[in-house]
A and B are shown apart, each in its own frame.
Chain A
Amino acid sequence: MIFRPWGLLDWALALTEPRSWLFVGAIGTEERCLAAWEWMRFLGKEQGHVFARIRDVTSRHSELAEERLQDRERRFREAGGNTSNVTDFALLDELYRIEDFARSIEARQLPVLFDITSLPKKFFFPILRTLYRSEAIADLAVTYTWPDSYEPTQPLSEQAEEGLHLPGFPSQAHGQEVLIISVGFLAESLQRHVGSIVKHEAIKVLIPFPAPLPTLRRTWQSVYELESARSKAKFENFRVDPIDLSGAFDRIVALGRATTASPAFAPFGPKPISAAMCLYAIQRNSAVYYPQPKVYHPDYSRGIASIDGKPAVWTYWVKHNGARLFDIPADAQGAA
C-alpha cells in the first residue's frame, strides 16, 4: 500500500523538507485560476512560474471571456507575475505544440507544482504524462482549486470537437476495452460519444459523491441521460470522492484488475478523478475518449471555495524524491 499524501496546499507542502517549486498553470477566465499560485507565493515556496494562456474559438461568450481574461492578467501582473513566462495557445492547438511546452518545463529540472484547475484536459493530460514519466522531474505535485460555485443554468461548455479520443490517447489497436466513465456536468457530448464507442459488455460509472446538492442534481441527471437509452445491465455505478485523486486511482486499479480487457476512460467528471484516469492511462496506453469543447462559459465557476479560512487548493503528491506514487501495482498491470 502506497501512502499518497494530499490535502490543502500549506499542509501538503509542509510534509517534507522545504523546497522551492516551479509553478505550472493556466491563466483563464475563472477567478480560481491563480489561487494556487498566489498561495504558493505567499508561502514563499516559488522558484519560478510558467503559465499557458488558452483562448477559445469565437462565440457568444467571446467579449465576456476577453474581459475576464484581462482581469486575470491584471491580477497576475499585480501579484508579481512575469508576462514573459506566459505562452499563448489556441484551445485546439496540435499535440506537438503542447508537447513542446511540456518539454520546456521538463528541461528546467525543478520540482513542479502542476495546477490543473483551469487547464483543459487536452493540455493537462499530455503535460502530466511527460512530467510523470520524466527522470528529470523528481518532485511533482498536482493542485486543484475548488470554486465557490458553478454557473447554475447555462451550458458550461459548447461545441465539442468531432474527434473521439483525446489527441495522444487513442483507442487500443486491438482487443476489448472496458469503459470507465466519470460523470459530471457535460452530459451532451458524453451521450454522443458513448453511443459511438460502446462495444463493451459493461460500463463502469464513477459518480462523484459526496458533492454539493446542485452538483449532485446535475450529476445524476447526466447519469440518467446516459443510462436511460441503454440496457441497465451494462452499467455498474461506483461512488468516488470528487477530490480524492488517490482514492479514485485505487478504484480504477481495482476495476482494471477485475477484467482482462483494457480499461479505457471517458473523463467527464471532476478534475481530480480525471487526473487519476490520466495517471493510469499513461502507464497502460489506455484510450481516453473526450471530445474537447471549443468554448467554455467565461463564468464556468465563480469565486474560490474556502476551508477553515484558507483557499480550497487541494494538493496531491504525485512524485516525491524520484519515487512515483501512482505506479500501477505489478499484479494489476494487465496484458496491455
Chain B
Amino acid sequence: MKYNVNPFQELYVSDSASSNEFVELFSEVPLQTAIHPLFQEGNVVLSGTQGCGKTMILRLFLAETRAAYRTAKKKFPIPRRERRFISAGVNLTKSALTDVSQVTLGQGDEHDISQLPFYFADFFNYWVVKDLLANLLEVGADPDTFENLVDLSKVDQFVSCLVKQECWFGALNGCSTLDDLQTRINDRIATYRKWVTHNERYVGAPSDLRQTKTSIGEPISRTVECLKGSEVIKDDVRAYIRIDQLEELHRSTLPRQRQLRLAFRHILNRAVASRDRRVHYRLGTRRYGWQDPASLTIQGSGAQLEARRDYLLVDMDDDLFRRKEHGRRVWLFDKFAADAFRRRLAFYLGGELPANIARKVFGRSPRPEERAEQFATGRRDRREMERVLGLNDSETEAKCWSPSWRRWLLRLYKQSPLEAILAAAWGRQTGGGQSKSEHRTQPPPTRKTWAKKWWRKERLSQAVLQLAARRQQRMLWWGYADLLGLSGGNITVFLHLCHQIWDLFLKEERLKPEAKRINPLKAEPIPVHTQAAGIQLASARWYNKVAEEPGGEVRKRFIETLGKTLRQQMRGDKRMSYPGGNGVTLALKDLLADRTPNRDIWRLLRDAVGYGDLFAAEHTTKNKASEPRMKFYLNPILSPAFQLPVAHTKEPLYWNIDKIFELSCDAELPFATKRKHLSQGTEGPELLEPEDSRQLRLFVQNGDWRE
C-alpha cells in the first residue's frame, strides 16, 4: 500500500475532478431515487446543502461526462431509455448574468427595476442557446457514444428555420450557417458582458440590445422546436436546461439590487411556470435558495410557482439521506458512504476491494458503556469518587446524600463509574407522577433494577458526557457507525472525516518499520485512538469552515454560543431531567410571527439550516394541544467540537424566542445589535439585509409548506 497518498486529500472532487476521475469516483447509489425525476419530463429543483453530492449528479448532464464513461469502457449510469437528451446550462454567477444589476439605464432606480429584468432575460436566452448549440455539436461529433442522437447533416435547415422565428425580432437576420449563428450569438453575449462590466461605455443600454430584447425562455423553446422540425434531433429527444447557483438571486444587500435580483428571479420563474414541454429546466440550489416564497412569484402574473404543478422538488438532504425516525430498512446514505469510500481507495491506492471495506477499516463503534471505559481509569479514592458524582458540590447537595446512599454509590462506582453517575442522577429524581420526594430521601435501592430500561437507555449519552466532564477528559468517537452518525447524511462531511483520520494514520504508519505497518487494503482496521484523534480534528476544522460560507462568521458566533449553552446545560443537569438537551424546540407560531425579533431569528435559523450548520425537523408537542413546533440540533459533525452527544434522544429543550434572542445578543449578531440601538433610543446605522415581506416554512412538500 502507498503510505504517502491520502485518498481523501481531494475533498471537493465534484468541482475539480476531470471527467475520467469522475467516472471512477462517482457513486451511483444516490441516483436510485434522484434519477427518476431528474431524467424525466418536467421541471426539477434539486436542492441540498453544500457537499451533499448535488453537483456530482448534475454533471451527468454534460456531454463530456458521458464521453468519459465510454472512454473508460464503463456503463453510463443512466438507463438507456433516459439517455436521449441534449442539454445546456448556465451558472448565474460565472456568466455575469447577475451583473445586469450593476448597470443603470440612466432614468432612475424605478425605471431600472422595471426594465433591467428584460435585459437579464435576453442575456439568459442567448447564453443558453449558445450553450445548447455547443452541446449539439459535441454530441453530433461523436455519434457512437451518443447513439446517433444528433444529425448534423440537417443543420442548415435548422438555421434557416431558427432565423425566421419572430422571437428574435430580426437579431439573427442574415445568418445562413451554424457558424454565422454562433458568431452572432457570441457577439451579443460579448456586448452584454462589455456593458455590465463597464468595459465599454454606453449611455443607457447598447442600442442593438435595446431594440431586440427576447422574451424569457421563448428563443430556447423555438431552438428546440426548430431542431426537431429540421430533424437534427428526433421528437423523442429531450432538452434539459440547467440553471446553477440560483441562490445567487436569493438575497442581496442594497434596496435597489435586492429589488432587481428579485425581479430577475421572478422573470426566471416565468420560464419555469410556462410548463413548456419543449424544454425541461433543472435548477440546482442550496436549500435556502429555493425556500423563500417571496422568490417564487412569477413575473407578469403575480402568481406563485407551485410545487408538483410547475416543478418537482428533490431535496437531497431530506429525500435521500436523512435517517427517518421510523426507519427505512436500508439507510441510503450508509450505502452511499461505503461505496464512495471503496471507490476512493480503489482509485488512489488500487486493488479490488469488497463493498464493506469501510466497515472493516473503521470497525465497530463503541456502546456507551465502552465509551465510558476510557474515563474509568485514574484515582478511585473516596474523595475523588464523590467529586466525580458531584455529591459535595454545595453544602445543600452534600446534606441530601445519606451515608448509606454514599456507600451504595461508591460501591457502584468501583464496579462502573457510568452506572454510579446514572444512579446518582436517579437518586436526585422524584420518579415523576405525583411524587414530590426524591429517591435519595429513601434508603438506596437493593434491587438491580433501580431504574427502568428506557429511563437508563435514554440517559446513557448524557451520563457519558457528565462522566467525561467530571473526569476532565474528552468524549471520543470511533468506528464506522460513529462516522456515519457524525456525517449527518452529507457525503462531503464523511469524506472530510476520512481525510483527517487517514492523514493521522499515515503519519503514524510512516514512523513504523514496513513489516509492522497496518494495511487497510487488506481490511486491517485503523487503530481506535487514531480514529478518535482524527475525528476530533475534523470536527474542529468543520467548525471553522462554518465561517467560509456567506454570512458564516455571524452564524459561527451564534453556533458557538448555542453549542456552549447546550453543553453547559447537559453537563449541569445532574438530575438528567433533560437528556434530549443537545437540541432545542421552538413554537412554530413564534417563529413565523411577523414581528421583530422573531423575523430575524427565523431568518437566522433558516439560513443556519440551509448552510448545514443546524439540522431541523418539525414536530408536535405531546400535550393535548399538539402545538406544532420545530426542533433544532447542531450538525452532528460539530458534536465533538462542543462535546455534545450525537443521538437525538427524548424531547429537546423547550425554549422561547426570548432565549434565542438572548443568545443572539451574546453572539453580537447584527439584528440584535440593531435592536439594542433602538432600545437605547439611538438610531444606529441602517440595516442593509433584506426583510422578507412574507414569512415562510422551512420545508416544502406536496405543494404546501410542511415537512
- In chain A, residues 169-226, which have Cβ atoms closer than 8 Å to a Cβ of chain B? 169-171, 173, 188-189, 191-192, 195-200, 225
Q: Is the CB of A57 within 8 A of B670?
A: yes
Q: Is the CB of B103 within 8 A of A92?
A: no
- In chain A, residues 93-150, which have Cβ atoms closer than 8 Å to a Cβ of chain B? 93-96, 99, 126
Among A158, A189, A199, contact of B548 (Cβ-Cβ < 8 Å) = A189
Return chain A residues, CB-CB under 8 Å to B235. none
Return chain A residues, CB-CB under 8 Å to B10. 229-231
Return chain A residues, CB-CB under 8 Å to B197. 95, 167-170, 285
Q: Is B552 an interface residue (CB 8 A)?
A: yes
Q: Is the CB of A94 within 8 A of B102?
A: yes
A247 CB, min distance to chain B CBs, angstroms: 27
Among A161, A169, A173, contact of B190 (Cβ-Cβ < 8 Å) = A173
Q: Is B104 an interface residue (CB 8 A)?
A: yes
Q: Is B101 an interface residue (CB 8 A)?
A: yes
A292 CB, min distance to chain B CBs, angstroms: 9
Interface string of A60-95 (1 = CB under 8 A from B): 101100100000000000000000000000101111
- In chain A, residues 36-72, which have Cβ atoms closer than 8 Å to a Cβ of chain B? 55-60, 62-63, 66
Q: Is B629 an interface residue (CB 8 A)?
A: no
Q: Is A160 an interface residue (CB 8 A)?
A: yes
B186 nearest in chain A by CB position: A173
Closest 3 CB pairs of A and B: A60-B668, A170-B96, A95-B102
Among B16, B104, B189, B251, contact of A198 (Cβ-Cβ < 8 Å) = B16
Q: Is B253 an interface residue (CB 8 A)?
A: yes
Q: Is B517 an interface residue (CB 8 A)?
A: no
Q: Is the CB of B94 within 8 A of A171?
A: yes
Interface string of B539-558 (1 = CB under 8 A from A): 00000110111111110000
Q: Among the listed stretches B393-401, B448-456, B585-593, B682-690, which one makes contact with chain A, having 4 or more residues with CB under 8 Å of it?
A: B682-690
With A162-B248, A196-B15, A230-B11 known as contacts, the answer to whether A188 contacts B552 (CB < 8 A) is yes
Return chain A residues, CB-CB under 8 Å to B668. 60
Q: Is the CB of B553 within 8 A of A188?
A: yes
Among A62, A192, A234, contact of B685 (Cβ-Cβ < 8 Å) = A62
Among B15, B98, B104, B545, contact of A163 (Cβ-Cβ < 8 Å) = B98
Q: Is A322 an interface residue (CB 8 A)?
A: no
A4 to B9, CA, bound (A): 42
Among A90, A126, A168, A229, contact of B499 (Cβ-Cβ < 8 Å) = A229
- In chain B, residues 688-705, which have Cβ atoms closer than 8 Å to a Cβ of chain A? 688-689
Q: Is A155 an interface residue (CB 8 A)?
A: yes
Return chain A residues, CB-CB under 8 Å to B554. 158-159
Return chain B residues, CB-CB under 8 Å to A162. 247-248, 250-251, 550
Q: Is B199 an interface residue (CB 8 A)?
A: yes
With A92-B257, A195-B15, A230-B11 known as contacts, the answer to whether A58 contacts B198 (CB < 8 A) is no
Q: Is A33 an interface residue (CB 8 A)?
A: no
A162 to B93, CA, bound (A): 9
A314 to B544, CA, bound (A): 35
Q: Is the CB of B12 within 8 A of A58?
A: no
A159 to B552, CA, bound (A): 7
Q: Is A164 an interface residue (CB 8 A)?
A: yes
B340 CB, min distance to chain A CBs, angstroms: 16
Return chain B residues, CB-CB under 8 Å to A57. 253, 670, 685, 687-689
Q: Is B598 an interface residue (CB 8 A)?
A: no
B405 CB, min distance to chain A CBs, angstroms: 48
Q: Is the CB of A229 within 8 A of B689?
A: no
- In chain B, residues 1-56, which have Cβ atoms closer than 8 Å to a Cβ of chain A? 9-12, 15-16
Q: Is the CB of A159 within 8 A of B674?
A: no
Q: Please tell me the number of chain B residues within 8 Å of chain A, measured between CB atoms.
A: 54
B248 nearest in chain A by CB position: A162
Return chain B residues, CB-CB under 8 Å to A285. 197, 199
A164 to B244, CA, bound (A): 13
Return chain A residues, CB-CB under 8 Å to B687. 57-58
Q: Is A165 an interface residue (CB 8 A)?
A: yes
With A163-B248, A164-B93, A167-B99 known as contacts, the answer to whether A126 contacts B550 (CB < 8 A) is no
A175 to B356, CA, bound (A): 41
A124 to B394, CA, bound (A): 62
Interface residues of B (CB under 8 A from A): 9-12, 15-16, 93-96, 98-99, 101-104, 186, 189-190, 193, 197-199, 247-248, 250-251, 253-254, 256-257, 496, 499, 544-545, 547-554, 668-670, 673-674, 684-689
Return chain B residues, CB-CB under 8 Å to A231. 9-10
Among B248, B545, B550, B684, contact of A191 (Cβ-Cβ < 8 Å) = B545
Q: Is the CB of A58 within 8 A of B674?
A: yes
Among B248, B257, B684, contact of A58 (Cβ-Cβ < 8 Å) = B684
With A59-B673, A62-B685 known as contacts, the answer to whether A195 contacts B93 (CB < 8 A) is no
A115 to B186, CA, bound (A): 38
List 19 contacting pairs A-B, 8 Å CB cutoff, sorted by A: A57-B685, A58-B685, A59-B670, A94-B104, A94-B256, A96-B104, A160-B550, A160-B552, A164-B94, A167-B102, A167-B197, A170-B95, A171-B94, A171-B95, A173-B186, A229-B496, A230-B11, A230-B12, A232-B9
Among A92, A96, A197, contact of B253 (Cβ-Cβ < 8 Å) = A92
Q: Is the CB of B193 within 8 A of A170?
A: yes
B10 nearest in chain A by CB position: A231
Q: Is the CB of A95 within 8 A of B198?
A: yes
With A95-B103, A191-B545, A198-B15 known as contacts, the answer to whether A168 contacts B198 (CB < 8 A) is yes
With A169-B197, A230-B12 known as contacts, the answer to whether A192 contacts B549 (CB < 8 A) is yes
B93 nearest in chain A by CB position: A164
A173 to B130, CA, bound (A): 11
A139 to B11, CA, bound (A): 48
A126 to B547, CA, bound (A): 28
B279 CB, min distance to chain A CBs, angstroms: 22
A266 CB, min distance to chain B CBs, angstroms: 14
Return chain B residues, CB-CB under 8 Å to A59. 670, 673
With A57-B688, A230-B16 known as contacts, the answer to whether A161 contacts B550 (CB < 8 A) is yes
Q: Is A294 an interface residue (CB 8 A)?
A: yes
A203 nearest in chain B by CB position: B16
Q: Is the CB of A62 within 8 A of B548?
A: no
A197 to B55, CA, bound (A): 13
Among A62, A161, A196, A291, contact of B673 (Cβ-Cβ < 8 Å) = A62
B200 CB, min distance to chain A CBs, angstroms: 11
A173 CB, min distance to chain B CBs, angstroms: 6
Q: Is the CB of A155 within 8 A of B12?
A: no
Return chain B residues, CB-CB under 8 Å to A99. 198
A168 CB, min distance to chain B CBs, angstroms: 5
With A158-B553, A167-B99, A294-B253 known as contacts, the answer to whether A198 contacts B12 (CB < 8 A) is yes
Q: Is the CB of A168 within 8 A of B673?
A: no
Q: Is the CB of B93 within 8 A of A92?
A: no
Interface string of A265-302 (1 = CB under 8 A from B): 00000000000000000000100000100100000000
Q: Is the CB of B253 within 8 A of A155?
A: no
A287 to B248, CA, bound (A): 18
A62 to B308, CA, bound (A): 45
